[in-house]
Homo-oligomer: A and B are copies of this chain.
Amino acid sequence: MPKYVYAFGGGGAEGRSDQKELLGGKGAGLAEMSGLGLPVPPGFTITTEVCKVYHREGQAFPAGFELELTEQLARLEGLQNRKFGDRRDPLLVSVRSGGPVSMPGMMDTVLNLGVNGETAEGMIEAGMDARFVWDCYRRLLAMYGDVVLEVPHAGFERILVERRTEEGVATDSEISAAGLREVTRRYLDYIRENGRVFPQDPMEQLYGAVKAVVESWNNRRAREYRRIHGLPEDSGTGVNVQAMVFGNRGEECATGVAFTRDPSTGEKRIYGEYLVNAQGEDVVAGTRTPQPVLDKDGSALLGRVFPEAYSDLVAVCEKLEQHRGDMQDVEFTIEDGKLYMLQTRDGKRTGLAAVRIGADMVAEGLIDHAEALKRVEAEQLVQMLAPVFDRAEKEEAIADGRLLARGLAAGPGAASGKIALSAERAASMALEGPVLLVREETSPEDIVGMHASAGILTSRGGMTSHAAVVARGLGKPCIVGAGDLVVDEEAAQVRVDGRVFAEGEDLSMDGSEGQVIAGRLEPRESEVLAAVLEEREVDSQSVSAFRKIVSWADDERRMKVRANADTPHDARVARALGAEGIGLCRTEHMFFEEERIPWVRRLILARSEEERSQALARLLPVQQDDFEGIFEAMDGLPVTVRLLDPPLHEFLPHGERALAEMAVEMGTEPADVAAVADSLAEFNPMLGNRGCRLGLTTPGLYEMQVEAITRAVAKLSLAGHDPRPEIMVPLVGASGEMEVLRERAVEVVKRVQQETGTDLHIPIGTMIEIPRAALIADRIAAHADFFSFGTNDLTQMAYGYSRDDSGRFLPHYVENGILPFDPFEKLDQVGVGQLVAMACERGRQARADLKMGVCGEHGGEPESIGFFDRCGLDYVSCSPYRVPIARLASARATLGHG
């Protein structure tokens, strides 16, 4: 029979820190701390296996489990020298969930189990502080009532508020002992009014709580969280039963949470908060604003009040970091001045902190480069590169009195947008533009809305509140505890200092500095980005840590990283950010520039071969100029130029009047122009005459582009430069397309070579973006030097979704779990990925030296990059600002964390 319950504390532990799958993260942490001899109240962990069996077997605990539980409880009673359910000096325990992966706020906790009306009286008789005893009991009733008995939480809150009003006090900790006793009485009535009964029998309490935790694994919020984060459905949760230590037993007691380093900046100093005379849930719930462990100047506030506990905490943090090799997020309680550790886990952190901690820990000798890279999720770099407000502009706004409030800087980065006061509104408003979600506090129900928002702002809660934790996970700018804001969801307005902001009005927020500002400031680029772009040495820990991490990533990664860039400026930005080439240089924007568009239009309207040739002849030199600029910026690095892709009607103005004006400009009849525009209109332009289809049906167009590329190369080569263009044919779906266009291009290249007396090597390849192209990749490879996967179009056609139109069903699909994620954001490995893998395999079979890369937007998305690495692509190409992310993601993929 498997072992279902593992003891910890009292001088050791049955479990081990590497048994996270079995014990859950919390259980493994408790086992580890116990093993290290740290001050952990003893207890035991019910394994995740129990949870799995429970759900598998139709809500029943496995055989033998109850016996083990009884034995472990007896052991605990022995260690604590107290009996569970004893009338005068009972053992009280907490019950907490803890799965292999932390799911903040998803699972439930019950404290103070073992109290009932009789033991409460008995404990007071035995000399315990009455206020403390009733506080424990009322907390138990509220938590148990809410979590186990499913009685609405709001009623408990209401009763507490009533009592505060009756006693004329502001906080719960000021309510008198008698008042708390009265509260317990009203709680019991309230539970009864809801048709439920609070079990007075402590064992029944314990089983009820364990069961509730196990069942909560399967509640809607938990399932939704797992779905959104792609967590497995069948890993189960552990349950930790632990002897209570009390942070609410008077002024010598406290409860707190701490990070061993600053989770926002990564700075090496304890970053925590505590509340005197409180229990753990008070800190996390954000209902009272806690004290910082260290003051702003770095002096130990906690140390002044609890010197011994503080120095123990410092030692514990140091020891845990040494042992775990990572920044820790711990929960502690101080009972009568003595420190107890309740939890440790690897701390969540901002991207900035992740990078800084990774770099620092390498310097401290705690970890090696590979481990540092493993620690930083590639997506976290976004936060370091995330926009900030222009300082002067912001200061001016503040000087103008637009600073509305300050809160805790819980997630770095600047954001502005229309405010939404509910998650639902945020999700729907986000379809139209950036949204800031403004709430009193957030809860797990708000996940989807938080996802959709550009920034998150709450009026309550601390750095460890739900909003702060989730926002950091999502990499969103976040401010919590901005207490001056009155968030009135019902009236759909936010009030602050006499000013009123209706839902839909603009606000701005600086998540790095905790400032809420009226109106809209436009975010600008980050310090790191500025330094990297300008190739400046700056005295900044962040910049230097960033540089270290990406340079280590460059040492590790197998795949090259290129950027998608259409202009010399973008090419220079990309190069500064580490791009090793241009993977996609679109030529259409060149056609749109003001002095060119008339010639493009003349080309479209040409009625004779002569008119067409004339237009092409005018476009040739300007295209050549464009290419020279880009090739020069990327001298010595490959530049993949895509021949014209969009349908011709995109180059005509819209509307009858604009067309008529154009006709005048062109010296033609409006009717002729209208006829051409009509003839070019398409029912489904995405599936129409564009890409190489256009190249094949428009005489001279691609030839002109190839000539412009070749002439640019010839000129630069003769001038001693090293241009390395690659010509890419878009939208190939039949090998004949590639065959014909390749022949034509080769002919042009040859001609230009002869004319210029140069000897140029210009690879000619294709996009793989049509499903059929992937299916017949072997045939296409016969005519192509390289493949570049256009996963945007490939996704559109494989799913049959027009990206422009999918807004009407795709959000519904993702919200309702019909799709696990938006396949335009993250590559659908299950379906579209098959096409990519198939094309790689078949392409390479046909041509062993085929170069392969990706230039769809997925080329900058870390999980997708991992997939591309496994497919054996040679490079990924992404937007310039995502190049550092791709460099890191690619390295992580090589290291097996893709």
| A residues whose Cβ falls under 8 Å from a Cβ of B | 682-689, 693-694, 696-697, 731, 733-734, 736-737, 740, 769-772, 775-776, 779, 793, 796-802, 804-806, 808-809, 812-813, 816-819, 828, 830-832, 834-835
The closest CB in chain B to the CB of A834 belongs to B775
B802 x A682 contact (CB < 8 A):
yes
- Report Cα–Cα, A812/B835, bound state, in Å: 28
B805 x A775 contact (CB < 8 A):
no
B775 x A697 contact (CB < 8 A):
no
What residues of chain B lie closer than 8 Å to A801, measured between beta carbons?
Answer: 687, 733
Partner of A772, one of B694, B798, B817: B798
What residues of chain B lie closer than 8 Å to A696, measured between beta carbons?
Answer: 809, 812-813, 816, 818
What is the distance, in angstroms, from A775's C-beta to the closest C-beta of chain B?
A: 5
What residues of chain B lie closer than 8 Å to A816, measured between beta carbons?
Answer: 696, 740
A775 x B831 contact (CB < 8 A):
yes
| Contact of A802 with B737 at beta-carbon distance under 8 Å, contacts A697-B809, A776-B831, A809-B693 already known | no
B805 x A800 contact (CB < 8 A):
no
A683 x B775 contact (CB < 8 A):
no
B799 x A733 contact (CB < 8 A):
yes
The closest CB in chain B to the CB of A693 belongs to B809
What residues of chain B lie closer than 8 Å to A806, measured between beta carbons?
Answer: 687-688
A805 x B734 contact (CB < 8 A):
no
- Report Cα–Cα, A609/B251, bound state, in Å: 57
A808 x B687 contact (CB < 8 A):
no
Partner of A800, one of B793, B830, B832: B793
A799 x B772 contact (CB < 8 A):
yes
The closest CB in chain B to the CB of A688 belongs to B805
Q: List 7 tightest A-B contacts by C-beta distance, closest first.
A: A687-B802, A684-B802, A736-B818, A688-B805, A772-B831, A683-B804, A693-B809
Partner of A737, one of B684, B689, B796, B818: B818
| Contact of A805 with B687 at beta-carbon distance under 8 Å, contacts A797-B798, A800-B793, A830-B776 already known | yes
| Contact of A689 with B805 at beta-carbon distance under 8 Å, contacts A731-B800, A776-B831, A813-B736 already known | yes
- Report Cα–Cα, A779/B772, bound state, in Å: 22
B685 x A687 contact (CB < 8 A):
no
| Contact of A800 with B771 at beta-carbon distance under 8 Å, contacts A689-B805, A734-B818, A830-B776 already known | yes
A809 x B689 contact (CB < 8 A):
yes
The closest CB in chain B to the CB of A833 belongs to B775
What residues of chain B lie closer than 8 Å to A693, measured between beta carbons?
Answer: 808-809
- Report Cα–Cα, A797/B770, bound state, in Å: 8
B687 x A796 contact (CB < 8 A):
yes
B683 x A683 contact (CB < 8 A):
no
- Report Cα–Cα, A796/B687, bound state, in Å: 8
What residues of chain B lie closer than 8 Å to A812, measured between beta carbons?
Answer: 696-697
What residues of chain B lie closer than 8 Å to A779, measured between beta carbons?
Answer: 830
Q: Can you report 13 residue pairs joining A to B where beta carbons are below 8 Å apart?
A: A682-B805, A684-B687, A686-B800, A687-B806, A688-B806, A689-B808, A696-B813, A696-B818, A697-B808, A740-B816, A771-B798, A772-B832, A775-B831
Inter-chain pairs besides A688-B802, A696-B813, A734-B799, 10 sampled, C-beta below 8 Å: A682-B802, A683-B802, A684-B685, A684-B804, A696-B809, A696-B812, A697-B808, A736-B819, A771-B835, A776-B831
- Report Cα–Cα, A736/B812, bound state, in Å: 12
A770 x B818 contact (CB < 8 A):
no
- Report Cα–Cα, A831/B735, bound state, in Å: 11
B689 x A686 contact (CB < 8 A):
no
| Contact of A686 with B684 at beta-carbon distance under 8 Å, contacts A771-B798, A835-B775 already known | yes
What residues of chain B lie closer than 8 Å to A828, measured between beta carbons?
Answer: 772
The closest CB in chain B to the CB of A779 belongs to B830
What residues of chain B lie closer than 8 Å to A683, measured between beta carbons?
Answer: 685-686, 802, 804-805
What residues of chain B lie closer than 8 Å to A686, measured between beta carbons?
Answer: 683-684, 686-687, 800, 802
What residues of chain B lie closer than 8 Å to A813, measured between beta carbons?
Answer: 696, 734, 736-737
- Report Cα–Cα, A693/B694, bound state, in Å: 31
What is the distance, in angstroms, from A13's C-beta to the closest C-beta of chain B?
A: 42
What residues of chain B lie closer than 8 Å to A688, measured between beta carbons?
Answer: 802, 805-806, 808
What is the distance, in angstroms, from A20's C-beta to the closest C-beta of chain B?
A: 30
- Report Cα–Cα, A817/B735, bound state, in Å: 11
- Report Cα–Cα, A808/B813, bound state, in Å: 35
What residues of chain B lie closer than 8 Å to A685, measured between beta carbons?
Answer: 683-684, 805
A800 x B736 contact (CB < 8 A):
no
What is the distance, in angstroms, from A351's C-beta to the closest C-beta of chain B?
A: 32
- Report Cα–Cα, A696/B805, bound state, in Å: 15
The closest CB in chain B to the CB of A681 belongs to B805
B818 x A799 contact (CB < 8 A):
no
What is the distance, in angstroms, from A646's C-beta to the closest C-beta of chain B?
A: 13
- Report Cα–Cα, A818/B734, bound state, in Å: 7
What is the distance, in angstroms, from A700's C-beta to the closest C-beta of chain B?
A: 15
A770 x B802 contact (CB < 8 A):
no
The closest CB in chain B to the CB of A687 belongs to B802
What is the distance, in angstroms, from A798's C-beta to the closest C-beta of chain B?
A: 5
What residues of chain B lie closer than 8 Å to A694, measured between beta carbons?
Answer: 809
What residues of chain B lie closer than 8 Å to A799, measured between beta carbons?
Answer: 733-734, 770-772
- Report Cα–Cα, A257/B770, bound state, in Å: 51
- Report Cα–Cα, A551/B289, bound state, in Å: 87
- Report Cα–Cα, A689/B696, bound state, in Å: 31
- Report Cα–Cα, A771/B816, bound state, in Å: 23
Interface centre among A772, A809, A835 (most CB of B within 10 A): A772
What is the distance, in angstroms, from A680's C-beta to the closest C-beta of chain B?
A: 9
What residues of chain B lie closer than 8 Å to A775, measured between beta carbons?
Answer: 798, 830-832, 834-835
The closest CB in chain B to the CB of A831 belongs to B772
- Report Cα–Cα, A799/B834, bound state, in Å: 17
- Report Cα–Cα, A686/B809, bound state, in Å: 14
- Report Cα–Cα, A819/B734, bound state, in Å: 7
B818 x A740 contact (CB < 8 A):
yes
- Report Cα–Cα, A140/B804, bound state, in Å: 68
What residues of chain B lie closer than 8 Å to A697, measured between beta carbons?
Answer: 808-809, 812
- Report Cα–Cα, A793/B771, bound state, in Å: 13
What is the distance, in angstroms, from A340's C-beta to the closest C-beta of chain B?
A: 46
- Report Cα–Cα, A808/B683, bound state, in Å: 12
- Report Cα–Cα, A694/B806, bound state, in Å: 11
What is the distance, in angstroms, from A643's C-beta to the closest C-beta of chain B?
A: 15
What is the distance, in angstroms, from A760's C-beta to the closest C-beta of chain B?
A: 27
Partner of A687, one of B733, B771, B800, B819: B800
Interface centre among A800, A805, A812 (most CB of B within 10 A): A800
- Report Cα–Cα, A256/B251, bound state, in Å: 123
- Report Cα–Cα, A817/B734, bound state, in Å: 11
A817 x B684 contact (CB < 8 A):
no
What is the distance, in angstroms, from A637's C-beta to the closest C-beta of chain B?
A: 31
- Report Cα–Cα, A813/B689, bound state, in Å: 12
What is the distance, in angstroms, from A843's C-beta to the closest C-beta of chain B?
A: 15
What is the distance, in angstroms, from A434's C-beta to the closest C-beta of chain B?
A: 22
What residues of chain B lie closer than 8 Å to A809, measured between beta carbons?
Answer: 689, 693-694, 696-697
B831 x A800 contact (CB < 8 A):
no
- Report Cα–Cα, A57/B689, bound state, in Å: 41
- Report Cα–Cα, A694/B689, bound state, in Å: 27
- Report Cα–Cα, A647/B766, bound state, in Å: 34
What is the distance, in angstroms, from A66's C-beta to the closest C-beta of chain B?
A: 36
- Report Cα–Cα, A809/B808, bound state, in Å: 31
- Report Cα–Cα, A806/B691, bound state, in Å: 13
What is the distance, in angstroms, from A362's C-beta to the closest C-beta of chain B?
A: 43
- Report Cα–Cα, A684/B771, bound state, in Å: 18
- Report Cα–Cα, A769/B771, bound state, in Å: 13
- Report Cα–Cα, A817/B696, bound state, in Å: 12
- Report Cα–Cα, A809/B694, bound state, in Å: 8
- Report Cα–Cα, A737/B810, bound state, in Å: 12
Partner of A736, one of B734, B736, B797, B817: B817
- Report Cα–Cα, A804/B689, bound state, in Å: 11
- Report Cα–Cα, A628/B733, bound state, in Å: 44
What is the distance, in angstroms, from A782's C-beta to the closest C-beta of chain B?
A: 14
- Report Cα–Cα, A770/B685, bound state, in Å: 18
- Report Cα–Cα, A693/B801, bound state, in Å: 10
What is the distance, in angstroms, from A652's C-beta to the closest C-beta of chain B?
A: 15
Interface centre among A685, A817, A818 (most CB of B within 10 A): A818
- Report Cα–Cα, A819/B687, bound state, in Å: 17
